[in-house]
Amino acid sequence: MSDGSDVAGDRIELRGLKVRGNHGVFEHEKRDGQDFFVDVTLWMDLAPAAASDDLKDTFDYGELAQRAAAIVGGPSRDLIETVAAEIADDVMRDGRVRRVEVVLHKPSAPIPLTFQDVAVVATRSRAAVGVAR
């Protein structure tokens, strides 16, 4: 079974999707919310879409953005690991996707030191989730 490496160059990338969410372990994070940024890279064979020039033959990145935004803007979670995993699992429901990487950034995390960003990375692949193509 392929892990996506045979189409390593074929991918769709969504970068810097800004979504307001209420995730965190502290009450003020749940109450006040904060901005999160999402990056999603999904690997799939883009040859069918390139040949047909038809949206149905690819993963609609507008839909990808809406689905990721719905998860980040959805129910409050304590951990951003949970949110990133939910996005990755959602993307993998499309059987054409061979692999996905979701990076969820929390640049306003409640850390009492100067920092640029905090992020978690969730990856899923067809081989790892045991789903046949």
pLDDT tens figures, 34-63: 999 999 999 999 999 999 999 999 999 999
pLDDT of 6 > 80? The answer is: no
CATH number of the CATH domain containing 120: 3.30.1130.10
User: pLDDT digit string (tens) for 10-20?
Assistant: 999 999 999 99
pLDDT of 30 > 80? The answer is: yes
Whole-Å CA distances, 27 to 34, 42, 45, 76, 104: 12, 34, 43, 11, 20
- Structural domain total, the chain: 1
User: Which residues span the domain enclosing 27?
Assistant: 5-129
Q: How many other C-beta atoms lie within 10 A of the C-beta of residue 9?
A: 7
Which ranges in the chain belong to alpha helices (H)? 27-32, 47-52, 61-72, 80-92, 126-129
Active-site annotation, residues: 106
pLDDT of 128? 61
pLDDT of 99 > 50? The answer is: yes
* Sign of torsion over alpha carbons 20, 18, 46, 87: negative
Q: Find the mean pLDDT for residues 68-77.
A: 98
